[in-house]
Amino acid sequence: MINIDDQVLESINFFPEQVKNSLEKSLKLNLPKKYQQIENIVACGMGGSRFPHHIIKELFKEEIKIPYLINDDYSLPGFVDNNTLVILS
């Protein structure tokens, strides 16, 4: 039987490598100019999937100049439109 605590610890041990990998990949991204026109961000995640969004929101609170909502629901908020960046995790 798999112990949940062991799985959590194993996941934590992979975190530094995941951060490094994510940073390397993000530096290679070439996003369209129209993405600079977004008016708000909705980051969707439940359980552990929402933790990276909290980290990003806190680490970049001085740089993020538009509303950044962490959504832990099965549906999107009513204000989401073509000018919203929606991140699913």
**pLDDT tens for residues 50-60?**
998 999 999 99
Note the pLDDT of residue 5: 75
Q: Can you give the pTM of this predicted structure?
A: 0.69
DSSP class of 54: H
Q: Apex CA 11: angle with CA 59 and CA 61, to 5°?
A: 10
Q: Which residues of the chain have pLDDT under 70?
A: 1-2
Rounded-to-10 torsion of CA 15, 52, 22, 12: 10
What secondary structure letter does DSSP report for 13? Answer: H
Percent of the chain at pLDDT above 70?
Answer: 98
Is residue 75 within 8 Å of residue 42, measured between CB atoms? no
Position 47 scores a pLDDT of: 87
